């Protein structure tokens, strides 16, 4: 079975158990904290994926790093994962948990890339665009990229709306190429 499917099943189990125990929000925070820690620590990612390091040693590392900082349920989950020799999928489980949490809570993540920082009015406009397309609460991430020059690129899940100057100029060029009445000078 692929790592992604296994991670999805573990994440679903953790999500359901945390809902049952009434600690969904805390476990969500824990998974975010865990993902952020992994993102900032290449060494920790390598340790968790290393088959030579014993599982009890990996659990000791997880406990020392996260023991007092995460909930009892999250600590118990780490213990179960290490007992099952599945530490290498913890990063994928955390990512999948956040994705499933967002689905349960009706949250849609979107990313907007612009040349300059958004004004509050523009931010509200983009949030409204996402709400109209998805009907979900929006968690908007803003990226400033001077290469955009003008316009924006809005990503909602696997959809992308590219309304940049560069793209519009390219579309215009393509229309001119398709027009048989325009000849090259």
> 109, 102 in Cβ contact below 8 A?
yes
Q: pLDDT 10s digit of each residue in the chain, 185 long?
A: 688 899 999 999 999 999 999 999 999 999 999 999 999 999 999 999 999 999 999 999 999 999 889 999 999 999 999 999 999 999 999 999 999 999 999 999 999 999 999 999 999 999 999 999 999 999 999 999 988 888 999 999 889 999 998 888 888 888 888 876 665 54
Bridge partners (DSSP) listed for residue 152: 114, 163
**Tokens at residue 23, please?**
């600690």
Euclidean distance between the first and the last CA atom of the chain, given in angstroms as a whole number: 60
How far is Cα 74 from Cα 31, in angstroms, rounded to an integer?
Answer: 8
**Tokens at residue 159, please?**
């959809």
**Tokens at residue 9, please?**
């099943």
pTM for the whole thing? 0.78
> 117, 97 in Cβ contact below 8 A?
no
């Amino acid at each position: 079975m692929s790592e992604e499917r296994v991670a999805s099943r573990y994440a679903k189990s953790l999500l359901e158990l945390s809902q049952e125990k009434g600690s969904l929000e805390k476990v969500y925070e824990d998974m975010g904290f865990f993902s952020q820690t992994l993102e900032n620590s290449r060494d920790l990612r390598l340790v968790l994926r290393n088959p030579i390091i014993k599982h009890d040693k990996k659990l000791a590392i997880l406990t020392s790093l996260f023991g007092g900082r995460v909930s009892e349920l999250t600590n118990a989950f780490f213990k179960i994962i290490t007992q099952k020799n599945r530490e290498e999928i913890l990063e994928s489980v955390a990512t999948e948990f956040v994705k499933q949490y967002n689905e349960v809570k009706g949250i849609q993540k979107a990313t907007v890339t612009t040349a300059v920082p958004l004004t509050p009015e523009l931010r509200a406009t983009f949030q409204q665009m996402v709400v109209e397309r998805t009907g979900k609460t929006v968690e908007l991430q803003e990226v400033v990229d001077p290469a955009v020059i003008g316009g924006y690129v809005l990503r909602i899940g696997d959809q992308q709306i590219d309304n940049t100057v560069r793209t519009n100029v390219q579309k215009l060029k393509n229309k001119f190429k398709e027009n048989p009445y325009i000849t090259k000078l």
